[in-house]
């Protein structure tokens, strides 16, 4: 019963967030949004408020963090993670939430890690993400225009939705963290709380410090 209630809550959150974006968020300025995306992908970064550029990049960091857990988790689920990963690239947390609602709690891993899973499971992967995140945070805080960001958050649907999605990525992370820790035989409550109470950086520290999935922990 609790599991069904939890899954229902995730579906309601998914529907509620979509409803908010479509009906309640600030107006969508399509031309400005397309210009912003063009400037990002053509490396015309001097034309972008560093806070917004950093925020856009940190949403991508969150997707990479989730990928390091959920591609492994998806090996043992009725549905694979990769379609939702592709959906998340274009829609952020909207593409991720259905997977979280459909997956079953699982603390096992069977088979061998291929090269892709080995990369996602490596501490090198977490270290690269951590250095990238620290750079983005320093860049955004040191050079960003906070007044401009607040104004755009209040008036632009894309910036508003992206900011809220960033927060949702953080709030949803404990859903998959516990299973990943158990899968590695790493049931440390203090570590769990440390990851949960330090937004983003706690999750990155976990990727750098977690024990890898090794042969002795893989169920054949």
Query: pLDDT (tens digit, 9 = 90+) per residue, 198-210?
Result: 989 999 999 999 9
Q: Which two structure tokens, joined as six digits, stand for 77? A: 């689920």
What's the DSSP call for residue 216? G
**How is 177-193 classified by DSSP, letter by letter?**
HHHHHHHTT---HHHHH
pTM: 0.93
User: What is the pLDDT, as a whole number, of residue 110?
Assistant: 78
* Cα 71 to Cα 80: distance, rounded to the nearest angstrom: 8
Q: What is the pLDDT of residue 203?
A: 95
- Which residues are 219's β-sheet partners? 110
Below-50 pLDDT ranges, the chain: 216-218, 220
pLDDT score recorded for residue 216: 41
Give the list of residues 6+ apart from residue 74 with CB closer than 8 angstroms, or none: 80, 81, 82, 99, 103
**Which residue, among 84, 123, 102, 144, has the nearest Cα to 204 in the 3D structure?**
123
Contact 58, 168 (CB under 8 A): no
């Amino acid at each position: 019963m609790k599991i069904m209630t939890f899954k229902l809550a995730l579906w309601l959150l998914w529907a509620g967030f979509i409803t908010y974006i479509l009906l309640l968020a600030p107006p969508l300025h399509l031309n400005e949004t397309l210009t912003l995306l063009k400037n990002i992908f053509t490396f015309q970064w001097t034309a972008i408020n560093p806070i917004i550029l950093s925020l856009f990049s940190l949403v991508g960091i969150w997707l990479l963090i989730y990928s390091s857990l959920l591609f492994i988790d998806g090996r043992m689920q009725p549905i694979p993670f990769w379609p939702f990963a592709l959906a998340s690239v274009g829609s952020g947390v909207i593409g991720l939430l259905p997977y979280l609602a459909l997956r079953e709690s699982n603390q096992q891993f069977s088979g061998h890690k291929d090269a892709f899973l080995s990369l996602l499971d490596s501490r090198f992967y977490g270290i690269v993400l951590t250095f990238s995140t620290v750079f983005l945070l320093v860049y955004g805080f040191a050079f960003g225009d906070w007044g401009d960001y607040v104004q755009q958050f209040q008036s632009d649907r894309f910036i508003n939705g992206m900011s809220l999605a960033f927060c949702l990525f953080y709030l949803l992370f404990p859903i998959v963290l516990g299973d990943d820790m158990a899968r590695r035989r790493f049931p440390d409550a203090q570590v769990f709380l440390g990851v949960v109470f330090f937004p983003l950086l706690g999750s990155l520290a976990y990727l750098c410090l977690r024990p890898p999935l090794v042969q002795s922990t893989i169920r054949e």
